[in-house]
Amino acid sequence: MIEPLDGLPAGVIGFRAVGTIEAEDYRDVLDPAIHAALDAHGRVDCVFVMGEEFDHYSLGAMWEDAKLIGLPHSAWGRAAFVTDHDVLAGIATAFGGLVPGEFRVFPLAQRDEAIAWVAESASAPASSTSSD
């Protein structure tokens, strides 16, 4: 399941993966939050945490994740992926260049730094973000 993170800076949305991520998690939690961020701020600045509670993605969830690429490039500000899962961090790093906006991978111990990095973008005007 995907759970929202509470207590994030203004303009930052965040989520935590717990157990198995299903397609419904995207439709019920992630997609509405992304669209609300777009409506409120004109872009998405987000943090996604995959800690020890994460088990795996279903095939449906992988498809829903791939569909996020369909959002306009201008919709993405900064995205931080926070995990100690070496394989997931490696995949995220390898494909990070394909993600619109700015994208970085952080270890779990640097969760607060990841949030601060994303918040820098969220507090800046929407047109000032650029790709790495």
Residue whose tokens read 């989520």:
15
**For 87-103, what is each residue's pLDDT tens digit?**
888 888 887 777 778 99
Residue 107 lies in domain: 2-124
- 95: tokens are 């494909």
Report the largest interatomic distance among the alpha carbons of the chain, rounded to a whole angstrom: 37
Full-model pTM: 0.87
Domain count, the chain: 1
Q: Is 131 inside a domain boundary?
A: no
**For 13-68, what is each residue's pLDDT tens digit?**
999 999 999 999 999 999 999 999 999 999 999 999 999 999 998 999 988 888 88
DSSP 94-119: HHGGGSSSEEEEE-GGGHHHHHHHHH
More confidently predicted of 129 and 58: 58
Q: Is 130 inside a domain boundary?
A: no
Assign residue 61 the CATH number of its domain: 3.30.750
Q: Is 129 inside a domain boundary?
A: no
3-state secondary structure of 26: helix
